[in-house]
């Protein structure tokens, strides 16, 4: 059985805030604000995995009003989602991600992000793609007000464990 999931996440960028993306600390004067460490990329990945198996969105599993999840890292969120889904027999076929961000350039960080994500998803780094694009100065991304991350995942399941 093959399942495809897609998700998009958007976070505002603010001055003097830590910038964690793909589980990696990025050196930049602005960072995303949101739930936990606001790792927009890991949020999109986790939600695409949930969507692939029709389990809803991140808010269903990690409600913002639950104090248990107040300071949870996005790596922990992705790990919990993957633990749940992989127990049903799913494995990653491939994961394709797009980060829309004007600055900084992400090329120096993408291999480290891919390694981090592959370690959580128990797959090979060659199964993880991370691409980046700018908005050429246009809109909330182009004016450095926000970051947008999108993820498409292909899951395979030979066990067909449902429920």
CB 82 within 8 A of CB 49: yes
CB 124 within 8 A of CB 118: yes
Phi-psi region of 23 (alpha: psi -120 to 50; beta: other; left: phi over 0): left
Domains parsed from the chain with CATH numbers: 2-157 (3.30.1330.50)
Rg of the Cα atoms in the chain: 15
Rounded Cα–Cα distance for residues 87 and 104 (Å) = 37
pLDDT score of 70: 76
pLDDT score of 161: 52
CB 156 within 8 A of CB 91: yes
Say how many C-beta atoms besides its own lie within 10 A of residue 137's C-beta: 10
Enter the tokens of residue 65: 């009003």
Q: Tokens 């999109």 sit at which residue? A: 44
pLDDT score of 2: 95
In order along its 163 residues, the chain shows pLDDT tens digits of: 899 999 999 999 999 999 999 999 999 999 999 878 999 999 999 999 999 999 999 888 888 788 887 778 999 999 999 999 999 999 999 999 999 999 999 999 999 999 999 999 999 999 999 999 999 999 999 999 999 999 999 999 977 555 5
pLDDT score of 160: 58
* Closest CA relative to residue 123, chosen from 161, 152, 159, 90: 90
């Amino acid at each position: 059985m093959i399942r495809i999931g897609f998700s998009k996440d958007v976070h505002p960028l603010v001055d003097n805030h830590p910038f964690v993306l793909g589980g990696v600390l990025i050196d930049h004067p602005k960072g995303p604000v949101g739930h936990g460490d606001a790792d927009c990329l890991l949020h999109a990945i986790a939600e695409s995995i949930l969507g692939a198996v029709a389990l809803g969105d991140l808010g269903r599993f990690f409600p913002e009003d639950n104090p248990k999840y107040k300071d949870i890292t996005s790596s922990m969120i992705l790990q919990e989602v993957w633990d749940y889904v992989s127990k049903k027999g799913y494995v990653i076929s491939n994961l394709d991600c797009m980060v829309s961000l004007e600055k900084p350039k992400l090329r120096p960080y993408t291999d480290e992000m891919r390694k981090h994500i592959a370690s959580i998803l128990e797959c090979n780094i060659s199964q993880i793609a991370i691409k980046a694009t700018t908005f050429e100065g246009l809109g909330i991304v182009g004016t450095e007000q926000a970051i947008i991350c999108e993820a498409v995942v292909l899951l395979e399941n030979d066990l067909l464990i449902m429920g």
